[in-house]
Structure 1
Amino acid sequence: MKKLIIIIIPLLLIVSCVYNTVADASYSTNFGFTAELDEPSSRGQLKRVSPNESFVGYRFCISPDKKNIVYSGYQAGGGDKLYQLWKIPITGGASTKITSGGSNYCISPSFTSDGKYLVYESAGKLWKVRQDGAGGKTLIPGSGTGYDITPQLSSQNKLVFCSVSQVQTYQNLLKYFIWTSNLNGGELTQIREGKNPLWSPDGKQIIFDHAGEIWLINADGTELQQLTNSSEVIESIPSFSDNGEYIVFVSNETKTGNLSLRGSNWNIWSMKTDGSEKQQITELSSWDSWPLYSGNSIYFLSGRATKKKQNTQRIWKLQLHNE
């Protein structure tokens, strides 16, 4: 029962977002929502950050000055049927819309190092826009090989992203390849196969997931390291702590070390950058995903504390107790 990820939606039908796979932590199914609220008091204090009326989809980002969060989603009753980019104070509050219109999702935002611009994906292409949405958007060339997704900027404004192409096999699998470039699309370099890449704080390494495991590689593609090796579970969507000493990620491992049989029972875990000191952070039987460190807190997306049939994903903050 090794981690074979079978794609259920053909590439031509995918609109910008190509995450729909079996046992994929990047999106939730109906089983990922619960009215319960896990309060992990032994590890920290839990608080909802995004507005109650907001549905947040996929990756969000935190501004370099730690004052704002930008997410992709929509507002209940707002008239939008597609995800747009929204900004909220990191402490919570009203949402401000950044993008609007169009016929495709705007997702996976990431700030430039000065906080003035955002890069994001839409319809398999990469774009840049001012953080207030003014002045229109600029196309970033990308890989030129297929759908380009999940752009992320380093502290030096180096871009890392994935390209997705369909492999013509009897299963029609999707192949994900990691690329780097500068913000204008120059110095394009293919790193290796993998997805959900994110830079280390110093911009010297890239962390990513592949085949259900967490990996680390130098920015030039050298010194590949496998950080997890769990044959019966899936571990994905990693990111670094601010000091680069810890990694937070998503896993469907249970307390007994086995694979969760519920399709959307994902929890947040952490470990050191050498793969040691692995520990579970959240424990609720719900969908917790897309974790990001900020200082002594972990922000993540979750289907917890949702009314019956409402099925709303929101951003939560777990302020960790000092060790």
Structure 2
Amino acid sequence: MKRQTFWLFAAGVFAFSTAACNRDNTTGIPAISSRVEGSTKQLTDAIAFFTRQFNTVDGGLAVMSVDGSGRRPLAGGELGFEPSISPDGRRIAFSRNTDVGVTSVYVMNVDGSGTTPVAQGIVLNPGPVWSPNGCQVAFRSSPDGPTGPVGRISIVNADGTGLRQVSPDDAQGSFDESPTWSPDGTRLAFTRNSFLHVINVDGTGLTALPNEDMASNPSWSPDGQRIAYSSGGEIHMRNADGSNLVRVTTAAEGTFDSWPRWSPDSRRLVISHVAGDQIQIVTINADGTNPVNLTP
């Protein structure tokens, strides 16, 4: 039987967090209300992803259990992509095209209610990701540079207030993308011109990590020890300081692996795996063993 073809823009396995958006939040960003409003529904032990399984023309967001069961479209997720589940499992941040080549970042409850645009007018894929305390969303913004839009890492509060740029401008017109939070919420890792960088959330301490293998779509492990990322159709991993390169997957002819995301215990990854004309969601141990295809 031919498998259903779909594209995984972003996926992850998520656990609950009890952190509230209060004045002691670790990011140092102005606090927002700690009151939980709207839907009380939650997702737990779930993977969110983009698929054309339920809408073969435009596609949209869907969720499933970590074993691949219970696949269903996500209400309110029509035309959405790049989903990120909030740490408490109650909300989804995602991207949606609003015009040709123009994208906005939205936040909604997991039952599809309360959809709110939090960042708008972005060129191409912003890749939104939740802060560990569920108070902010980091994404790639696209401010104007000397020769047109450039990629910069920005943060916005989950209600759409407090938007600010984190990664600095430079004279070279560098392109930043794919932010991922450190587990304590004080730093972001991202790629600048395909090299891994780390920066404090207040914009200080920009540091390039030594990754000669190039990188895209990094993901910081929940235990804080490693950063997984895509490189040349493979999944690579390094310590958080850039040392100790490990190849998790090895590219074979006709295959391409990308978009790694960690399980809450930092033991497994969920990745997008292209094999011929099929695109699959695969879970795999962090040491590269025991790959499991979740695509029916």
The answer to whether the superposition gives a TM-score over 0.5 is yes
Residue 289 of structure 2 corresponds to which residue in structure 1? Answer: 276
Cα distance, 1:163 vs. partner? 1.5
SS of 1:162 mapped into structure 2: strand
Residue 297 of structure 1 corresponds to which residue in structure 2? Answer: none
Q: Which residue type is aligned with residue 178 of structure 1?
A: L
1:56 aligns with 2:97: no
| Conserved 8 A contact 2:200-2:206 | yes
Q: How does 1:1-323 map to 2 (within 5 A)?
A: 26=9, 33=52, 43-51=68-76, 54-57=78-81, 59-74=82-97, 82-90=102-110, 92-99=111-118, 101-102=120-121, 104=123, 107-123=126-142, 124-135=151-162, 137-142=163-168, 144=170, 146-157=174-185, 158-164=187-193, 176-191=194-209, 192=211, 193-232=214-253, 233-253=255-275, 260=276, 262=277, 265-283=278-296
Higher fraction of strand: 2
Residue 300 of structure 1 corresponds to which residue in structure 2? Answer: none
State how far apart, in whole Å, the 2-side matches of 1:211 and 1:273 are.
Answer: 18
Cα distance, 1:82 vs. partner? 2.8
Q: Which residue type is aligned with residue 55 of structure 1?
A: L
State how far apart, in whole Å, the 1-side matches of 2:257 and 2:200 are.
Answer: 29
Return the TM-score normalized by structure 1.
0.63
State how far apart, in whole Å, the 1-side matches of 2:122 and 2:228 are.
Answer: 32
State how far apart, in whole Å, the 2-side matches of 1:270 and 1:115 are.
Answer: 25
Percentage of matched positions with identical amino acids? 24
Q: Which residue type is aligned with residue 134 of structure 1?
A: T
SS of 1:44 mapped into structure 2: coil
- What is the number of equivalent residue pairs in this alignment? 229
Q: Which residue type is aligned with residue 70 of structure 1?
A: A
State how far apart, in whole Å, the 2-side matches of 1:95 and 1:274 are.
Answer: 40
| Conserved 8 A contact 1:105-1:122 | no
| Conserved 8 A contact 1:84-1:105 | no
State how far apart, in whole Å, the 2-side matches of 1:43 and 1:108 are.
Answer: 23
| Conserved 8 A contact 1:86-1:95 | no
Where does structure 2 lack aligned partners over 5 or more consecutive residues? 1-6, 11-50, 57-63, 143-150
| Conserved 8 A contact 1:199-1:205 | yes
State how far apart, in whole Å, the 2-side matches of 1:104 and 1:237 are.
Answer: 20
Deviates more, 1:195-204 or 1:183-192: 183-192
| Conserved 8 A contact 2:140-2:154 | yes
State how far apart, in whole Å, the 2-side matches of 1:93 and 1:277 are.
Answer: 34
Q: Which residue type is aligned with residue 278 of structure 1?
A: P
Return the TM-score normalized by structure 2.
0.68
State how far apart, in whole Å, the 2-side matches of 1:99 and 1:281 are.
Answer: 31
State how far apart, in whole Å, the 1-side matches of 2:291 and 2:225 are.
Answer: 23
4+ long deviations beyond 3 Å: 24-27, 32-37, 40-43, 100-106, 142-145
Q: Which residue type is aligned with residue 130 of structure 1?
A: N
Where does structure 1 lack aligned partners over 5 or more consecutive residues? 1-23, 165-175, 254-259, 284-323
| Conserved 8 A contact 1:99-1:133 | yes
Shift in CA distance, 208/134, structure 1 to aligned 2, threshold 3 Å: same
Shift in CA distance, 130/275, structure 1 to aligned 2, threshold 3 Å: same
Residue 4 of structure 1 corresponds to which residue in structure 2? Answer: none
State how far apart, in whole Å, the 1-side matches of 2:251 and 2:122 are.
Answer: 40
SS of 1:94 mapped into structure 2: coil
Q: Which residue type is aligned with residue 195 of structure 2?
A: F
State how far apart, in whole Å, the 1-side matches of 2:119 and 2:55 are.
Answer: 33
State how far apart, in whole Å, the 1-side matches of 2:122 and 2:131 are.
Answer: 25
Cα distance, 1:50 vs. partner? 4.0
State how far apart, in whole Å, the 1-side matches of 2:114 and 2:129 are.
Answer: 17
| Conserved 8 A contact 2:109-2:115 | no
- What do you get for the CA RMSD once the two structures are aligned? 3.1
Cα distance, 1:250 vs. partner? 0.9
